[in-house]
Amino acid sequence: MIDLYTWPTPNGHKVHIMLEEAGLPFKVHPINIQAGDQFKPEFLKISPNNKMPAMVDRNGPGGKPISVFESGAILIYLGKKSGKFLPTEEHQHYDVLQWLMFQMASVGPMLGQAHHFNAYAPERFPRAKLQYGIDRYVNEGNRIYGVMNRHLEGKEWFAAGQYTIADMAIFPWTRDPAKQGIKGEDYPNVMRWRDKIWKRPQVEKALKTLSDANRTSNAYSDKAWELLYGKSQVQQRAG
């Protein structure tokens, strides 16, 4: 059994998708990042960077428990554990890994910032004060979508000619390009690829993970904002 410490964010969902697709049994432990669960000492023992998702596989290598943090590392671990969605043939293997790293280094950080400045921060600050950040990250977001759109020309999947953890990692970040300030219709290959993944039953199920918890949380409260973006996040200490 895998204990998954998570919240319904893009980084959480890519692990939810892999677990559902691979058919691995798992138990969800909500980490409400808007309430500060990520700073609790028991969670920091698993994820010292105070970020979710993180996991504990009770039956890890050699039958011993192992904890893993960082969503990309979790996907690689689960691919090797299940023998699915991470090819072992070396050319294919590294093709998958390079696109997974592309997601970790570019897609997630940059599109996350585009979303923040374009759709989230204006709830609290005048848009005029945010315009440089909006322009900076929306422009970079368009560049990244362009990279993906060109790569997917004539291709069904991102890597190795098959559905892999690279697709699972990138997909959750492309569900709502409008909130990132991106016109999805300008990138038809990305939208075609995205919609194909979205129709998979396992993906539909994965995206429902903790959906009720997400709807009942208050992402725009002063407390949530301070925990996510304020000084309190650097003042937290493990017990």
Q: Confirm whether 2-84+210-235 and 90-203 share one CATH topology.
A: no
pTM: 0.93
Tokens of 184: 């999805």
Instruction: Print burial letters for 20-57: b (CB count within 10 Å at least 16), e (below 16).
Output: bbbebebebbbbbbbbbbbbeeebbebbeebbbbbbbb
User: Domain 90-203, what architecture?
Assistant: Up-down Bundle (1.20)
Q: Which residue has the tokens 């969503």?
A: 71
Burial (0-12, 13-18, 19+ Cβ within 10 Å), 96: buried
Task: Provide the residue ranges of all domains of the chain, joining segments of one domain with +.
Answer: 2-84+210-235, 90-203
User: What are the strands of the beta sheet with 66-69, ordered from one edge?
Assistant: 26-30, 2-6, 54-57, 66-69
**Do the Cβ atoms of 143 and 180 come closer than 8 Å?**
no
- CATH 3.40.50.10490 is held by the domain 2-84+210-235: no
Going residue by residue through the chain (239 aa), what tens digit of pLDDT does each one get? 999 999 999 999 999 999 999 999 999 999 999 999 999 999 999 999 999 999 999 999 999 999 999 999 999 999 999 999 999 999 999 999 999 999 999 999 999 999 999 988 888 888 888 999 999 999 999 999 999 999 999 999 999 999 999 999 999 999 999 999 999 999 999 999 999 999 999 999 999 999 887 555 566 687 887 888 877 666 665 44
